[in-house]
């Protein structure tokens, strides 16, 4: 065993990167579910965002444009889900699963000619002297802009949901769409916007994997992150800060167990390998002992006539 082989600074910097795709996908889905819609297509929107972002970044040479394209791609795909569930009133679970299927297929089609290409690198933000602070500098101030954006997004979603009228309306739609409708709010429009926001976030999360975390394009490369994001929203009881905590826990322990394995720590590897899932779930379940419940209208179909 050689714990000194683990560099804590690199480790923490590493897990912030590992958690970012999860944060984006999950915070988007949180908003969608707060509006009373269950979109199981996160994985499909992520992988679509991953290839849209990758392709545009390669073609234009600009990773930032890639992320914009990823958001647009994810949002466009989610519009399909919005059309199915909000206009034609199709079952949300089935439509979400279909969206994942469709996204996986579409992305491997779009990605045919991008295998084995190296994408342009998104540089780290230059914080000047801040990055030179020992320990804290390399951990906090040597990342790309998208990582900080993920953190800010969580804060923004929290603030909007808690303090603004728009957030109140969104929550009202999610709790009782009939009441919200009776008050004159456009339930379908609000939900559609929430779904598009979720799609855009998932797309950016996917692109973070293909442009920064790996960085390459491989078919099916999100490999289930979308499903973890979905689970995270539930275990975090639809609360943004808990979601952030859960994502950091999950990313952190995933990185930690790889580090411990590399250092040859004498804990059986199979326990290490399952630890991110177990610990994240246990912590979030303990936190959610209070009476926080799912939005009351979650997954229910709304039609103005009923």
CA distances from 114 to 56, 105, 121 (A): 11, 15, 16
Q: Tokens 């456009």 appear where?
A: 186
Q: Least distance to another protein from the beta carbon of 216, Å?
A: 4
CB of 250 to another protein, least distance (A): 12
The answer to whether 54 and 211 are in contact (CB under 8 A) is yes
Answer whether 295's CB lies under 8 Å from 191's CB.
no
Q: Give the count of beta carbons closer than 10 Å to the beta carbon of residue 151.
A: 16
Nearer to another protein, 167 or 215 (CB): 215
Number of residues that bind another protein (CB under 8 A): 47
Token readout for 212 is 């920064």
Per CB under 8 A, the segment of 6-14, 130-138, 141-149, 184-192 that binds another protein is: 6-14
Considering only residues 247 to 306 of the shown chain, the ones binding another protein according to CB under 8 A are 254-255, 258-259, 261-264, 266, 268-270, 273
Decide: is 139 part of the binding site for another protein (CB under 8 A): no
The SS3 of residue 11 is helix
Which run of H or of E encompasses 186?
Answer: none
Choose between 2 and 290: whose C-beta lies nearer to another protein.
Answer: 2
Q: Does 37 bind another protein (CB under 8 A)?
A: no
Q: Do 116 and 215 form a contact (C-beta atoms < 8 A)? A: no
Question: Could you tell me where the beta strands, DSSP code E, fall in the chain?
Answer: none
Footprint of another protein on 94-113 (CB under 8 A): 97, 100-101, 104-105, 108, 111-112
Judged by the rule CB under 8 A, the positions of this chain that interact with another protein are: 5-7, 10-11, 14, 18, 21, 43, 97, 100-101, 104-105, 108, 111-112, 115-118, 209, 213-216, 218-225, 254-255, 258-259, 261-264, 266, 268-270, 273
């Amino acid at each position: 065993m050689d714990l000194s082989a683990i560099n804590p600074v690199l480790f923490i910097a590493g897990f912030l990167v590992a958690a970012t795709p999860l944060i984006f996908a999950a915070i988007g889905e949180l908003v969608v579910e707060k509006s009373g819609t269950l979109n199981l297509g996160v994985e499909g929107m992520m992988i679509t965002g991953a290839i849209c972002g990758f392709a545009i970044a390669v073609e234009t040479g600009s990773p930032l444009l890639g992320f914009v394209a990823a958001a647009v791609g994810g949002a466009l795909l989610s519009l399909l889900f919005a059309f199915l569930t909000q206009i034609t009133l199709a079952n949300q679970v089935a439509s979400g699963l279909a969206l994942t299927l469709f996204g996986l297929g579409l992305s491997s089609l779009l990605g045919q000619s991008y295998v084995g290409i190296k994408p342009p690198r998104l540089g780290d933000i230059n914080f000047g002297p801040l990055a030179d602070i020992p320990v804290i500098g390399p951990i906090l101030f040597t990342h790309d802009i998208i990582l900080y954006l993920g953190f800010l997004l969580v804060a923004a979603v929290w603030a909007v949901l808690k303090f603004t009228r728009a957030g109140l309306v969104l929550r009202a739609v999610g709790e009782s769409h009939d009441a919200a409708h009776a008050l004159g709010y456009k339930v379908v429009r609000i939900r559609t916007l929430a779904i598009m926001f979720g799609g855009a976030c998932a797309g950016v999360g996917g692109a973070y994997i293909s442009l920064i975390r790996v960085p390459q394009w491989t078919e099916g490369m999100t490999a289930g992150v979308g499903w973890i994001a979905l689970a995270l929203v539930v275990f975090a009881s639809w609360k943004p800060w808990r979601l952030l905590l859960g994502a950091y826990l999950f990313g952190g322990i995933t990185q930690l167990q790889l580090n411990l394995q590399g250092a040859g720590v004498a804990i059986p590897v199979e326990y290490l390998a399952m630890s991110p899932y177990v610990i994240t779930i246990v912590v979030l379940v303990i936190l959610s002992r209070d009476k926080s419940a799912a939005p009351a209208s979650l997954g229910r179909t709304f039609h103005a006539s009923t």
